Amino acid sequence: MRRWLLWLPLCAFGVIVAVVAWGLYRPADRTVYSRLVGQPLPDFTLAPMVQGKPGVSSADFRQGTPRLLNVFASWCVPCIAEAPHLMTLKAAGVPIDAVAINDKPDAVTRFLRRNGDPYARIGDDRHSRLQLALGSSGVPETFVIDARGRIVKQHVGDIRAEDVPILLQTLAAAK
């Protein structure tokens, strides 16, 4: 019996190591999701970011057509990675509006020239006020807005090829 008691601390240590290793192997999801999913877009009006494109407002999303609202920045590396997939969505007929965060018009113009321009409208959110109002925690993020201006889905991070069919299905259901 005493021999088993000698091994008890080693077994306890082994259990602690196993729990810590499991926690490191499977970290918790720390993604911050908006509380506005399922709610109407907050009222906003943003001035145009680049010449030749109108700004964006909440009224644009209550016109009877589901749309995407993409939160991006020209300085954002994942935004560059998602650009081809946004172009794929545009080619599929998806209307996409954007909010440029903490950016400058000339930088956004260069970004669109290099990576393609999938946007119908681009609003200037230099101080991230709309981004915070949406509950967006970073860039890029994309919101699916239904025909009545309600947020149906939030996609955190860059859109990848495997996300395109899911977004198309969500938009089709949002009519």
pLDDT value of residue 26:
77
Dihedral angle sign, alpha carbons of residues 170, 171, 174, 175? negative
Q: Is the pLDDT of residue 1 over 70?
A: no
CA distance 104 to 117: 16
Whole-model pTM: value is: 0.83
CATH class of 45-173: alpha beta
Q: For the beta carbon of residue 105, count every other beta carbon within 10 angstroms.
A: 15
Residue 35, C-beta contacts closer than 8 angstroms, at least 6 positions apart = 135
What pLDDT, in 10s, does the model give residues 16-42?
Answer: 888 887 777 776 666 778 889 999 999
CA distance 167 to 144: 8
